[in-house]
Each structure stands twice: as structure tokens, then as C-alpha cells.
């Protein structure tokens, strides 16, 4: 009987081992935004394609990610949305327990930039009414895969040349891939310098979905 119990725990430990790597966690977070090629994942995680492939192999062995072929490309995706929930819950637990992580997060976003404690349903209601503009500053393909309701896509690298499209009369709520992503922070800083009222929403699509809130896709 002990042999059976040991085997059961060993199987569960495979999941723990597969996510016991900072880069593999980052790859999971990137895949929360939608399916991607290994080349794209390597570039966004700032590692070599060879290393990205090795990390993805480990995630596949743990059945956390899957692949499909499209022409000559292999696209990686999360095996299910429960993997995204695993990432969100693991990160949230680490933030709750680890002072070091709390301090690191505090250094990312200046005081007053985050909508911490604000009811997300209120944000949704205001966005629907046009009282605020929810701005998705991720790459357009990530927006197409999944985005917050009523959000508008305006990738960070395009904001400067498209500022004229934004009204200064409507407050802006900018978001990207989640609490560890810096694109929304950079967007808010740029917008404020140009006279826009902008704040940073730490949620990404994975966090929003984990809260039980709706997600939209571009058709």
C-alpha cells in the first residue's frame, strides 16, 4: 500500500516540479494570453529558442501545455484554463506569503497607479457606459485571443503615434498581462505626461477570468 501512496504523491509532484522554474512560470503567463510559437515565446521571455524549447518540453511532459501545427509552425497553448488558474492562484499565494514579493511589486507601480480594492464589476459597468476607456496595451494578437469586455486595443509601441485617437475627457484604465507586466505601467506614465488621466489595472485576462468575470475574443 505504501508503494501505491508513494506513486500517487510522485505524480502530483510532477506538476510542482514542472512549475519550479521562474522561466517556466513566465512561459505559462505568456501562454495565458493565447497560443504562441516557440520563437515568439523565446523573444518575449528574453531567452534562447533552445532554452524555451527545453522548458516547454517539461511543461508538455506534465501535460500543462499542448501543441498544434499550423503550416511549418508549431503553436503552443495551455492544456486548459485551469492551468491559467493554477498560475494566478500560485502567484496570489506567493504575494500573500512573501514580503520580498510584496516589496518587489510595490516598486513596480507607483502609489495611486493601481485600482487595488476597486470592484471590478464597477470598472466593467463604467466601461460599458463609456465613462472610462479600458486600454489593452498588449500586442494586438494577444488582444484578439482574449481581452476584457469593452476594451480597446492600443499596443504600447503604438501609443505615442496614436495619441490623437484618445480623448482627454475620458479617464483611461490601462492593463496588460497581469501584476508582473510592466507595459501598462509604462503606458500610464506616458499618458500622464501627455495630460491624460490614466491609472493602472493590475489584472490581466487570466486574473479577470479567475475572478469569474467575462472575457471577450475578437472574431
User: What's the CA angle centered on 180, arms 96 and 103, to 5 degrees?
Assistant: 50
Answer yes or no: are the C-beta atoms of 201 and 176 closer than 8 Å. no
How is 41-60 classified by DSSP, letter by letter?
HHHHHTS-HHHHHHHHHHHH
Q: At what angle do helices 38-45 and 22-31 cross, to 10 degrees?
A: 120
32 flagged as catalytic? no
Annotated catalytic residue within 176, 181, 187, 206: 176
Are the C-beta atoms of 197 and 131 separated by less than 8 Å?
no
Cα 126 from Cα 137, distance rounded (Å): 19
- Output the nine-digit C-alpha cell for 12: 502530483
Answer whether 115's CB lies under 8 Å from 199's CB. yes
Active site residues: 176
Amino acid at each position: 500500500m505504501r508503494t501505491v501512496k508513494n506513486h500517487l504523491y510522485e505524480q502530483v509532484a510532477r506538476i510542482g516540479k514542472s512549475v519550479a522554474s521562474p522561466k517556466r512560470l513566465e512561459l505559462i503567463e505568456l501562454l495565458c494570453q493565447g497560443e504562441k510559437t516557440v520563437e515568439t515565446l523565446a523573444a518575449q521571455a528574453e531567452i534562447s529558442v533552445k532554452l524555451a524549447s527545453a522548458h516547454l518540453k517539461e511543461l508538455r511532459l506534465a501535460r500543462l501545455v499542448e501543441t498544434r501545427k499550423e503550416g511549418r509552425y508549431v503553436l503552443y497553448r495551455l492544456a486548459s484554463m485551469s492551468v491559467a488558474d493554477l498560475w494566478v492562484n500560485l502567484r496570489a499565494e506567493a504575494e500573500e506569503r512573501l514580503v520580498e514579493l510584496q516589496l518587489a511589486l510595490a516598486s513596480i507601480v507607483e502609489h495611486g497607479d493601481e485600482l487595488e480594492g476597486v470592484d471590478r464589476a464597477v470598472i466593467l459597468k463604467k466601461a460599458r457606459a463609456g465613462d472610462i476607456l479600458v486600454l489593452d496595451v498588449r500586442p494586438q494578437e494577444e488582444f484578439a485571443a482574449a481581452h476584457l469586455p469593452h476594451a480597446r486595443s492600443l499596443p504600447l509601441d503604438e501609443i505615442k503615434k496614436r495619441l490623437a485617437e484618445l480623448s482627454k475627457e475620458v479617464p483611461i484604465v490601462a492593463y496588460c498581462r497581469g501584476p508582473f507586466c510592466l507595459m501598462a505601467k509604462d503606458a500610464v506614465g506616458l499618458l500622464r505626461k501627455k495630460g491624460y488621466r490614466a491609472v493602472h489595472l493590475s489584472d490581466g485576462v487570466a486574473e479577470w477570468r479567475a475572478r469569474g468575470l467575462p472575457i471577450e475574443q475578437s472574431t
